[in-house]
Structure 1
Amino acid sequence: MSPFTIVICVDHAFVSGGQSKVAIESALGLKAAGARVIFFSACGPVDPRLEAAGVETVCLSQHDILGNPSRLDAARQGIWNFKASKALAETLSALSGDRAIVHVHGWAKALSPSIAKPIQASGLPAVYTMHEFFLNCPNGGFYNFQKNEVCPLHPMSLACLRTNCDSRNYPFKLWRSARQFVAEHVAHLAQTFSDILLLSDLQEKVLASCLPPGAAIHRVTNPVEAEPLGHKADQTEGDFLFVGRLSAEKGAFLFAEAARRAGVTPIFIGDGPITDELAARYPQARLLGWRPPAEARAAMRAARVLVFPSLWYETFGLTALEAKAMGTPTIVADGCAAREAVEHGVTGLWFKSGDVQSLASAIRELGNDAVVAQMSDNAYDAYWSSPATLERHVAETLAVYDRMLARETE
């Protein structure tokens, strides 16, 4: 049987966040498994690992929406990226054979809804990994950034359009809504995909009324970069640690206030729009800035507890799974997808999402050395009994591709 040809589409050809990180690692893993992989992106530079592994790359060297010095050009490109549509059409038209699949990991930061048309014209089966919610929600999060709370409105309803929920301002919300209209009624982006990959049970619940009718839904595990280091020798040492973007929706303020009430020093690895305000309001907090991935993992290994206080849904909660692999218990908000990585009372604790007193109580509970030591061992054992390796991710992904092509021949 001939190998797969996989065209992976994503905004960035470098690691700019979890979405592009998974896309790149998936490309490397699929190539190592024998597939022909073409990595199609709008923004460079290209991660050198791709070319070194023999992955074919098509990078348009464009700006993403936020990085474009011309706001007018950014607005136009974000709604319809003509260059990306033309280049993807050329890439897909050059493919031959009957085992080719298009796999989209992201489009909202640069590629735009325009990629739907060449995929549709190619007639190739296409699959979408739901790293966020931009396929359905204008701001990508089912979240009201102005109120700092989950949004209950149906996307693109009249109530949705009237609501200023954007992280920037209402004119930007209107622009996002125009893009969503184009995606739904001009590009028919969601209907382009016969298959959707979800990352958590929560995603499936949130999207129950939004997914394309007839689309096959699959679960594929994102790969986690971790080594089996054994049980921690110093489980009760270290601090209460936050790792991630410093933003209100990630719960950074919530953690800092809960830590103050619990009488512990909060440690933050990351950066973001609220860094200065966080430092000013909570001078006792230690803000370490971004750290290279290896250093962040080492910090999670050394931490007493990881705190994952996100106020919005999330889609997966990679950091919580990384901490689990390190043997570090996690305190997680019960309203986000990361709770699925934590067994309450066994490998960590859930707290009531957005409730500072509930989080402070959980922090106090994990001030007990005996409880932390047991949870540390439990977390490590639970993760490594079924680790989220790249090999597992590739095997699950290839199984989806097999099912897609089997339907094509029915």
Structure 2
Amino acid sequence: MRILTIHNYYQQPGGEEQIFATESALLESHGHEVIRYTLDNDDIAKVNPLLLAKKTLWNGKVYRDLRSLIREQKPQIAHFHNTFPLISPSAYYAAKDEGVAVVQTLHNYRLLCPNALFFREGRICEDCLGKVPISGIIHGCYRNSRSASAMTAATISFHSLLGTWSNAVDTFIVYSKFAVDKFIQGGLPAEKISFKTNFLHPAPEPDNGDGGYALFVGRLSVEKGLGVMLDAWRQLEGKIPLKILGDGPMASLVTEAAKEMPEIEWLGRRPLEEVYKIVGKAAFLVFPSEWFETFGRVAIEAFAKGTPVIASNIGAISELIEHQHNGMLFRPSNPTDLAEQIKWLLAHPQELSQMRLNARNEFDAKYTAEDNYKRLIEIYQTILKK
């Protein structure tokens, strides 16, 4: 099979970039030909704001370039990961106009919410769910800018009115049952949503968790629950060291917390192989997110290394964690409950050891590349038969 994969890179790379790379590599490892089409948000600085707004709504150059590429390469599938903002939904129409089936993986809630998170001012916000996103403009939800939010809201509204999500996309891939329900609630056609979990390729080997520390991996931002975790560590009063991997807008808060609490160490960004080693040596991983995660890739990275996960009981992440089996759940946005769950784990080393085995077994049962590949090809074949 010949597959065209499309992705608009973010200025700060994250899970979507990893998924784009690993899924393409997985397809190639099974003998499929993968053609990559990408743009990079680093180029935004070169674009006039009015022109950027126009491109976000409809990028005519991308439309023309993709039609030419499709005529030349003749793919059977066009698989999109992110089109925002430079590629734009015009790319769907380029594929459809050339008779190519369109797949869109939904990594966030961009089609329903201007900031893609359903999170505003430190709390869950669904004011724009299933509605014209006026509230997102009023509150400047995207980049704390009303003009930027208006650009995003206009794209959502225009393509909803145009019927893009219903007519120009053959299927949406969604990684969790929670997110499936949320997208249907927001107006996406249920019959066009395909459920598929995430995966790792290649999968790392499990480790023994003998590092004697807890670990956070992710973007240093408010919706990731960083403040909740730091407050919990204040309550723990040095009971276990905490390593923090990642970067983001709350980096200064982490720096200050590390000065206040010497048991906290900020490691910044590290290469993936080094991240895996640090994850494998951790006693457990903390996943304190406060927004409706669509999946939680970091959690399955931990599972692969045999590392249990303590996660907030919210959104898709709560589907991955079975309390006191492969990890622990705590009440979201509640640092006291997080601290109590950590204390329980530290007081029950035998149960923690069993959780390591359970975590890896969970990975092998649900998140391997081979099982994921079979499901992805099943999705492709289903839409090709229509």
> Is 2:31 aligned against 1:6?
no
What is the RMSD of the two structures over their aligned residues, measured on CA atoms?
2.5
What is the CA–CA distance in structure 2 between the aligned matches of 1:336 and 1:214, rounded to whole Å?
19
Q: 1:24–1:339: structure 2 CA closer, same or farther, 3 Å change rule?
A: same
> Is 2:30 aligned against 1:30?
no
SS at match of 2:78: strand
What are the residue-to-residue correspondences of 1:7-406 with 2, within 5 Å?
7-12=4-9, 16-43=13-40, 63-65=42-44, 67-68=45-46, 70-94=48-72, 96=74, 100-144=76-120, 147-153=121-127, 154=129, 155-186=131-162, 188-213=164-189, 215-225=191-201, 227=203, 229-230=205-206, 232=208, 235=209, 237-264=211-238, 265-283=241-259, 284=261, 285-368=264-347, 369-384=349-364, 386=365, 388-406=367-385
Aligned length: 378
What is the CA–CA distance in structure 1 between the aligned matches of 2:62 and 2:204, rounded to whole Å?
41
Question: Does the 8 Å CA contact 2:258/2:266 hold for their aligned counterparts?
Answer: no
Question: Does the 8 Å CA contact 1:114/1:187 hold for their aligned counterparts?
Answer: no
Following superposition, the deviation at residue 82 of structure 1 comes to 2.4
Question: Does the 8 Å CA contact 2:184/2:190 hold for their aligned counterparts?
Answer: no
Q: For structure 2, which runs of at least 5 residues remain unmatched after alignment?
A: none
What is the CA–CA distance in structure 1 between the aligned matches of 2:49 and 2:258, rounded to whole Å?
35
**Once structures 1 and 2 are overlaid, which stretch shifts more, 243-252 or 393-402?**
393-402
What is the CA–CA distance in structure 2 between the aligned matches of 1:281 and 1:230, rounded to whole Å?
31
SS at match of 2:82: coil
Following superposition, the deviation at residue 125 of structure 1 comes to 1.9
User: How far does the alpha carbon of each residue in 1:200-250 deviate from its partner, in whole angstroms, 9 at most, with x for none?
Assistant: 111012122224336432222322146464562xx4642111001111111
What is the CA–CA distance in structure 2 between the aligned matches of 1:329 and 1:218, rounded to whole Å?
28
Amino acid at match of 1:224: L
Question: Does the 8 Å CA contact 1:13/1:42 hold for their aligned counterparts?
Answer: no
Q: 1:88–1:189: structure 2 CA closer, same or farther, 3 Å change rule?
A: farther
SS at match of 2:185: coil
User: How far does the alpha carbon of each residue in 1:161-195 deviate from its partner, in whole angstroms, 9 at most, with x for none?
Assistant: 44443342333222221222333335724531121
What is the CA–CA distance in structure 2 between the aligned matches of 1:8 and 1:143, rounded to whole Å?
29
Q: 1:166–1:214: structure 2 CA closer, same or farther, 3 Å change rule?
A: closer
Q: TM-score, normalised by structure 1?
A: 0.84
Q: 1:375–1:213: structure 2 CA closer, same or farther, 3 Å change rule?
A: closer
What is the CA–CA distance in structure 1 between the aligned matches of 2:315 and 2:86, rounded to whole Å?
27
Q: 1:188–1:383: structure 2 CA closer, same or farther, 3 Å change rule?
A: closer
Q: 1:64–1:392: structure 2 CA closer, same or farther, 3 Å change rule?
A: farther
What is the CA–CA distance in structure 2 between the aligned matches of 1:21 and 1:69, rounded to whole Å?
26
What is the CA–CA distance in structure 2 between the aligned matches of 1:250 and 1:396, rounded to whole Å?
29
Question: Does the 8 Å CA contact 1:13/1:41 hold for their aligned counterparts?
Answer: no
What is the CA–CA distance in structure 1 between the aligned matches of 2:203 and 2:171, rounded to whole Å?
32
What is the CA–CA distance in structure 1 between the aligned matches of 2:48 and 2:153, rounded to whole Å?
20
User: How far does the alpha carbon of each residue in 1:101-121 deviate from its partner, in whole angstroms, 9 at most, with x for none?
Assistant: 221111014211221321231
What is the CA–CA distance in structure 2 between the aligned matches of 1:236 and 1:123, rounded to whole Å?
54
What is the CA–CA distance in structure 1 between the aligned matches of 2:350 and 2:213, rounded to whole Å?
16
Question: Does the 8 Å CA contact 1:226/1:326 hold for their aligned counterparts?
Answer: no
Amino acid at match of 2:315: C
Following superposition, the deviation at residue 292 of structure 1 comes to 0.6
Q: 1:213–1:219: structure 2 CA closer, same or farther, 3 Å change rule?
A: closer
**Once structures 1 and 2 are overlaid, which stretch shifts more, 386-395 or 336-345?**
386-395
SS at match of 2:184: coil
Q: TM-score, normalised by structure 2?
A: 0.89
What is the CA–CA distance in structure 2 between the aligned matches of 1:254 and 1:83, rounded to whole Å?
44
Q: 1:198–1:40: structure 2 CA closer, same or farther, 3 Å change rule?
A: same
Amino acid at match of 1:108: F
Following superposition, the deviation at residue 389 of structure 1 comes to 2.8
Question: Does the 8 Å CA contact 1:64/1:74 hold for their aligned counterparts?
Answer: no
What is the CA–CA distance in structure 2 between the aligned matches of 1:188 and 1:92, rounded to whole Å?
20
Question: Identity across aligned pairs (percent)?
Answer: 26
Amino acid at match of 1:220: K
What is the CA–CA distance in structure 2 between the aligned matches of 1:19 and 1:395, rounded to whole Å?
20
What is the CA–CA distance in structure 1 between the aligned matches of 2:135 and 2:62, rounded to whole Å?
33
Q: For structure 1, which runs of at least 5 residues remain unmatched after alignment?
A: 44-61
